[in-house]
Amino acid sequence: MKVRLFSLFSAFAMAVLLTACAAPGSQQGSVTIRQGKIEQIAPTEIPTSHHTGVGAVLGGLAGVGIGSLIGGGTGRDVAMVVGAIGGSVAGSQIAERYSKPLEGQQIFVRTDSGVLVEVTQPVTPGLRVGQRVFIQGNGEGARVVPQ
């Protein structure tokens, strides 16, 4: 009887303790949506995450691989060197094509609580100064969308 009573009391105490630790809205990954009015929109560029050096390295390795298939002896060595140089140049130019920054907008929103929030995002057509908007998310993932 004492063991059962102690088990029930322990289970109840554990449930109360775990419930007290949970705070509404503080779960990780929850989305916060705030409202406000756009005060300013400025055009900007968003840098891409592409690295031109990666293209040069991959192009060089591909050039060495193709050069190693040509000839034999000294001719093969020369073909590998020429392939490495040519592949590096070609890979760098190809990677440069994809490293151009994206067109973006720097949007300043005055929330209903009076806080000024700045969000940089890709261009969203239809946003204008004075428009009521939602700010979805936080940090890097924040986006301004029309109401």
User: How far apart are the C-alpha atoms of 123 and 106, rounded to whole Å?
Assistant: 9
Instruction: Assess contact for 5 and 13: CB atoms under 8 A.
Output: no
Q: Give the pLDDT score at 25.
A: 47
Query: What is the layout of strands, in order, in the sheet containing 116-122?
Result: 116-122, 102-111, 33-46, 132-136, 143-146
The pairing of beta strand 116-122 with beta strand 132-136: unpaired
Residues 6+ apart with CB under 8 A from 33: 134, 135, 136
Domain boundaries, the chain: 29-47+101-147, 52-98
Per-residue pLDDT at 32: 63
Highest mean pLDDT among 17-21, 53-57, 142-146: 142-146
Question: What's the average model confidence in pLDDT over 18-45?
Answer: 70
String of DSSP letters for 64-99:
HHHHTTS-STHHHHHHHHHHHHHHHHHHHHHHHHH-
- Predicted confidence (pLDDT) per residue in 86-96, tens digit: 888 888 877 77
Residue 139 DSSP symbol: G
* CATH class for the domain made up of 29-47+101-147: mainly beta
Note the pLDDT of residue 12: 57
Minimal CA–CA distance to 47: which of 123, 103, 95, 105?
103
SS3 116: strand
Residue 11, pLDDT above cutoff 60: no
Structure tokens given for 146: 């029309």
Tell me the C-alpha distance between 115 and 119, whole Å: 13
Cα separation, 92 vs 102, whole angstroms: 19
